[in-house]
Amino acid sequence: MAEGVRARVKVPGNATAGESVVIKTLISHPMESGQRKDSDGNIIPRSIIHRFVCDFNGQNVIDVKMEPAISTNPYFEFEATIPESGDMHFTWYDDDGSVYEKTETVTVG
């Protein structure tokens, strides 16, 4: 299910050194749980994003292990410490092997 997957992240562009900023992420994905049945009664196979990682300049902020109980279009909100200017890197890992990535730059000034 790699079609139409669009990741959106909300990261402040500026921060003061050592500040804790709120990060919001949303990625469009059906998160098929593997519990649902189609109209013929066949189980629709599981297809979810099973891991989400956020790093800043190579250092880990949060690493989430996701199960089928996460809703469609997974949303996460968390906080990150910004020690210096750099890139915030977001990665989502799909069951089908796809990897979705997004990078945002934060400037400390």
| Residue 5 vs 86, nearer CB to another protein | 86
User: Which residues are near another protein by CB under 8 A?
Assistant: 20-22, 33, 35-37, 55-56, 59-72, 74-81, 83
Cα 17 from Cα 25, distance rounded (Å): 22
| Residue 9 vs 21, nearer CB to another protein | 21
Q: Which amino acid is at 12?
A: P
Q: Which of 60, 87, 89, 92 is nearest to 75 (CA)?
A: 92
Provide the phi-psi class of 40: left if phi over 0, else alpha when psi is between -120 and 50, else beta.
Answer: alpha
- Residues 64, 68, 69, 73, CA torsion sign: positive
| Residue 65 vs 109, nearer CB to another protein | 65
Minimum distance of another protein from residue 84's CB (angstroms): 11
Minimum distance of another protein from residue 98's CB (angstroms): 20
Residue 37 · residue 46 · CB < 8 Å:
no
Minimum distance of another protein from residue 4's CB (angstroms): 19
Minimum distance of another protein from residue 66's CB (angstroms): 5
| Residue 74 vs 94, nearer CB to another protein | 74
